[in-house]
A and B are shown apart, each in its own frame.
Chain A
């Protein structure tokens, strides 16, 4: 029923509950960092890099701030992987926080190991304080002449300073790179490095280098994260939810139009046309923003179709009253519009307040509802006033007779 043309320039964006996929929610422990915004931003970037390794077409990664405005007591990261089914794999690849460390080899390392082969790593390799927290990125590079893969490291400002200090004081020593307690590289420091960049040369294949780089980027999580929620939805379940949502919308619209035309006659027909333009305008807005449509979002939109008519109903009822007072059709319409406006405005402001608060409450399902409802209210105010007005005055007769008056009245009134 709903097909997405691949070439569509502004495609609809559907939520996981409509296309299927995996969603993971993490809580970030930002208690030990000073600049929470920056930590969350770099956390998001790291997770984005990890997600990109999955080959999911349109992943959504959102950081949600703690605080009064967001209503969250903790900082969160939400990862949505549309179409991705393997939740366990996703959790494994995203959730683990391997610890990357740089440690200096104890000058007496050889003696210690010969004396006691089971000595702990801490005695052989001394922590320097330089960890993945300071790494801004790692990437695979290639030696210009030999073509051998090299691992390029880039530290952030603080990391660069620390790295410069370590390399300055310990030229000739081994600076081991340790991931989760396992030594992955043991390069020797050649000279002081000031620019916060480092290269690891070693004998590995391009694939090995790539894996190490991935691990390094993995290790560079700025803050520890904890998985607090996971969701996976099958594609067929999503598709059927989408189809039934669309079907409900279409049926609702048809029945509603019939009701309008039977009750409000000619103006009812105009209202139905205004409703069509309302639906088209809203859908365009959803595409352009873009709004992620969820099952709840569709429900919000369907609700808003019903509410969109309200402005027209208010206007028509006012017009009818004026007609009953014996006014000419044209005058009655003018009165109807101007008198109904205040209540349309005030009542819609109340709806917008609700939509804004809902958006604030929002996890993605609720946000979808709030956005579609909010956009719906705004668009409907616009179409009810402009489109209906233009159409109504276009069809309003200059000279009137009984039939025309009948067409502009409504209900059981003649």
Chain B
């Protein structure tokens, strides 16, 4: 294990804050400029996956055929060398039959592997629900952290632990989202329901990780009090971070291993999801060590200058 100086994380906190601020700014920029590439889960539409047994017809010929249906904008994407994924607006029964007819090209037999239609209202309802879910998770977690650390009020009151957790959480949601918006723009990665699921899982993990570090701070404060030792708060935090550093890295590593297996060998349906979680675990581990804990010290210093 890399041996780190006890105060390394706390002392250079400004550098971490600036790094995080830059990443957040870039993400916000991406979100504002490119916008979300939403999947049919949220905006409604029909997605059709068609697999060809013989020779794969060209993308152009399929696009030409679909154009004649006059069903508005659509996209055709090749996948796994033997199939296309076609996205259209929500299709009626007759339009659906028309679409299926366009797939018969040349002698190649085709199979509809998957077709999914979501009405526009169902999509927008889900969008509202997703936003609500994220808000509820953040709120509940902050309340829980405030509650769990209620007995710790010196030298930093317990709601500040909650506040530091919120900031770390926002950090962990905004940056992966920014990365996915970026990927959405350049590689057509979509924001779907699994993405929201992944974000929430990241939230859970990030807090999990932050709590382990905070728990150590809590324990060290208690020990100091019992032993009547006066120690500067930033020293205590630095010590706690160092003590939990190995565990943080190793836990992230174990999760990283399983997620990497999921990404490399898992089903295509969960590939983007696994990637999102990998990004999230890295960001989440970083934030609990380099953002949440140093923030406690910053809050403490602000508190002192105010007095």
What string of 1s and 0s marks CB contacts (under 8 Å) between B79-97 and chain A?
0000000000000010010
Closest to B208 in A: A347
The answer to whether B122 touches A350 (Cβ under 8 A) is: no
A295 interface neighbour in B253, B256, B269, Cβ under 8 Å? B269
Quick check: is A49 within 8 A (CB to CB) of the other chain? no
Residue in contact with B126 in the complex, picked from A321, A358, A363, CB distance below 8 Å: A363
- Which chain A residue shows the least CB distance to B136? A357
**Inter-chain contact total with CB atoms closer than 8 Å:** 228
Q: Which stretch, B15-23, B183-191, B198-206, touches the partner chain A?
A: B198-206
State the Cβ distance, A172 to closest chain B Cβ, in Å. Answer: 45
* B224 located at the interface, meaning its Cβ lies under 8 Å from any Cβ of chain A in the complex: no
Tell me how far the C-beta of B292 lies from the nearest C-beta in chain A, rounded to whole angstroms. Answer: 13
Asked whether, in the complex, the Cβ of B247 is within 8 Å of the Cβ of A232, the reply is: no
Contact A233 B122 (CB under 8 A): no
User: In whole angstroms, how far apart are the Cα atoms of A17 and B121 in the complex?
Assistant: 23
Task: Name the distance in Å between A340's Cβ and chain B's nearest Cβ.
Answer: 9
Q: Give the residues in chain B near A350, CB-CB below 8 Å.
A: 141, 144-145, 204, 207-208, 211
Interchain CB contact under 8 A, B115 and A232:
yes
Among residues 174 to 212 in chain A, which have CB atoms less than 8 Å away from a CB atom of chain B?
none
Chain A residues 298-338 with CB under 8 Å of chain B are 298-300, 302-303, 305-307, 309-310, 313-314, 317, 321
B219 touches A353 (CB 8 A): no
Of the candidates B113, B200, B258, which one forms a contact with A358 in the assembled complex, judged by CB atoms under 8 Å apart?
A: B200
Q: Is the CB of A256 within 8 A of B254?
A: yes
Judging by beta carbons under 8 Å apart, are B193 and A229 in contact?
no
Q: How far is the CB of A253 from chain B (nearest CB, A)?
A: 8
* A295-B269, A354-B203, A411-B1 known; A236 vs B113 contact (CB < 8 Å): yes
- Residues of chain A in range 214-232 having any CB-CB distance to chain B below 8 Å: 227-232
What is the bound-complex CA distance between A240 and B212, given in angstroms?
Answer: 38
Measured between C-beta atoms, what is the minimum distance from B220 to chain A in Å?
Answer: 12
Is chain A's interface secondary structure helix, strand, loop, or mixed overall? Answer: helix
Cβ of A98 under 8 Å from chain B: no
The 8 Å CB contact of A357, one of B200, B212, B247, B253, is B200
Whether the pair A307, B215 counts as a contact (CB closer than 8 A) is: no
B270-A351 in contact (CB<8A)? no
Interface string of B242-283 (1 = CB under 8 A from A): 011011001101111111111011111110011001000000
Whether A299 lies near B114 (C-beta < 8 A) is: no
Within 8 A of B (CB), among A377-396: none
Chain B stretch 94-121: residues in CB contact (< 8 A) with chain A: 96, 111-119, 121
Interface contact B266-A346, CB-CB below 8 Å: no
Query: Which among B125, B196, B215 is the interface contact of A346 at CB below 8 angstroms?
Result: B215
Q: Is A14 an interface residue (CB 8 A)?
A: no
Determine if A358 and B197 form an interchain contact, defined as CB atoms under 8 angstroms apart. Answer: yes
Q: By the criterion CB–CB under 8 Å, are B144 and A229 in contact?
A: no
B273 A296 Cβ-Cβ under 8 A: yes
* A234 contacts B113, C-beta separation under 8 Å: yes
Question: Closest residue of chain A to B137, judged by CB?
Answer: A357
The answer to whether residues A232 and B193 also contact, given A73-B125, A343-B216 and a CB cut-off of 8 A, is no
B258–A302 contact, CB under 8 A?
A: yes
Judge whether B246 and A363 touch: CB under 8 Å. no
Complex CA gap A303/B273 in Å reads 11
Contact present for B133 and A313 (CB under 8 Å): no
Q: State whether the Cβ of B140 lies closer than 8 Å to any Cβ in chain A.
A: yes
Inside 8 A of B243's CB, which chain A residues have their CB?
Answer: 321
By Cβ-Cβ distance, the 8 closest A-B pairs, closest first, are A354-B204, A252-B261, A306-B255, A306-B258, A241-B267, A248-B266, A252-B258, A228-B119
User: Other than the known A306-B258, A347-B215, A370-B197, what 5 A-B pairs have Cβ atoms closer than 8 Å?
Assistant: A27-B122, A241-B268, A248-B267, A317-B246, A369-B197
Q: Hey, which bits of chain B sit against chain A, CB under 8 A?
A: 1, 49, 51, 93, 96, 111-119, 121-122, 125-126, 128-130, 132-133, 136-137, 140-141, 144-145, 148, 193-194, 196-197, 200-201, 203-205, 207-209, 211-212, 215-216, 219, 243-244, 246-247, 250-251, 253-262, 264-270, 273-274, 277
Chosen A-B contacts, 30 in total, with CB atoms closer than 8 Å, are A27-B122, A73-B125, A229-B119, A231-B116, A233-B114, A234-B114, A244-B268, A251-B261, A251-B264, A252-B262, A253-B258, A296-B270, A298-B266, A302-B266, A303-B259, A306-B254, A307-B205, A307-B251, A313-B254, A346-B215, A347-B215, A349-B144, A349-B148, A350-B204, A350-B208, A353-B144, A354-B141, A360-B136, A361-B133, A365-B197
Instruction: Spell out A's residues near B (CB within 8 Å).
Output: 17, 25, 27, 71-74, 87-88, 91, 227-234, 236-237, 240-242, 244-245, 247-249, 251-253, 255-256, 259-260, 263, 295-296, 298-300, 302-303, 305-307, 309-310, 313-314, 317, 321, 339, 342-343, 346-351, 353-355, 357-358, 360-361, 363, 365-366, 369-370, 373, 411-412
